[in-house]
Amino acid sequence: MVSVVFVSTDPVWCQFLRTHIPPQLLSVSVQNAKIDSVLHSCSIDRPSAVVTPANSLGYMGGGFDRSILECIGSDKNLEHKIQALLAESHRGYLPISSAKIVDLAHIVQGPRFDFLIPAPSMTVPEPIAPSHAKQHIFDTIWNALVAAKNAPRAISTVIIPAFGTNWGQVHPHVSAASTLAATAIFNWPLYDMGPRQSGLLRSSLALMYLRKDISKFGVPDHIKELEELRQHSQAEPLREWLCTL
């Protein structure tokens, strides 16, 4: 099972996570610290990946981006190398809520972690509209976890910082709730279910958290299926927990 480590210097964000992590997520922890001290002092199983709340152009000039860039190495062209990879895969523009996995072994020698996952919650550094913050952060974290899942080598640990709480001006509780909701729904243990059924169950609960109206699908059989999956016995504890966020 992949371990998830939430990292931030914001005590409010960290405390919200600590008090809301469900017992079913045994491999989740919170570190109220700077990323460099976490990488130095904590026992991080490798291969490991660090998600960074980038902008769409891959500039890493401040905040967590700058800190993680310094942790990777002293190569002054490192930011340019990462942007070159974004140019190859995304023509240089990484849309909001996308995620790109970067294998650091290809661009730096002896990195302290193995993969970087740029995952922008904003195109440029600017406030995130309150009406968009919940879904922007949820979708960004979800796609970062997908990128980690599909890494070229199996990842043991994913490190996730606070999204949107600096330039984005998102309240720490909103950021933490969306981060934890996405992580929980993505990783919640489901047993004896086929991939389609388990995928739709997770999707239906994601829509519930995001307050999306499933009746908009318009097809009665589809709506009925989603409603029944939400009531599935394996969904019940997750559904009840989501209501506490």
Tell me the pLDDT of the chain averaged across its residues: 94
- Name the band, by pLDDT with cuts 50, 70 and 90, for residue 50: very high
Convert the pLDDT of each residue in 67-80 to its tens digit: 988 888 766 788 99
Give the pLDDT of residue 210.
Answer: 98
- Tens of pLDDT, residue by residue over 165-184, are 999 999 999 999 999 999 99
Is the torsion defined by CA of 34, 175, 118, 50 positive or negative?
Answer: positive
Helix, strand, coil shares of the chain as percentages rounded to 5?
45, 10, 40
Quick one: tokens of 232?
A: 């599935």
Same domain as 157, residue 86? yes
Q: Domain boundary residue among 171, 187, 203?
A: 187
Note if the bond before 130 is cis, omega within 30 degrees. no
Q: How many domains does the chain have?
A: 2
Tokens found for residue 28: 């989740």
Residues 35 and 126 in one domain: yes
% of the chain beyond a pLDDT of 90: 84
Q: Distance between CA 119 and CA 101 in Å, rounded?
A: 9
Tell whether the model's pLDDT for residue 202 goes beyond 90: yes
Specify the pLDDT at position 8: 97
Choice among 40-44, 110-114, 229-233 with the minimum mean pLDDT = 40-44
Q: Are residues 147 and 213 in the same domain?
A: no
Of 71, 92, 96, the residue nearest 83 (C-alpha) = 92
Q: Are residues 33 and 90 in the same domain?
A: yes
Per-residue pLDDT at 61: 84
Phi, psi of 45 (to 5 degrees): -65, 140
Does residue 97 have a pLDDT over 70? Answer: yes
Note the pLDDT of residue 75.
67
Q: Is the dihedral of CA 32, 38, 41, 46 positive or negative?
A: positive
CATH number where 113 lies: 3.40.220.10
Give the per-residue pLDDT at 30.
97
Q: Which of 67-76, 99-108, 139-148 has the lowest mean pLDDT?
A: 67-76
pLDDT for residue 72: 86
Range of the domain at 217: 191-245
Cβ atoms 29, 13 nearer than 8 A: no
Q: Are residues 117 and 158 located together in one domain of the fold? A: yes
Q: Quick one: 82 and 154 in the same domain?
A: yes
Q: Which residue has the tokens 């606070």?
A: 162
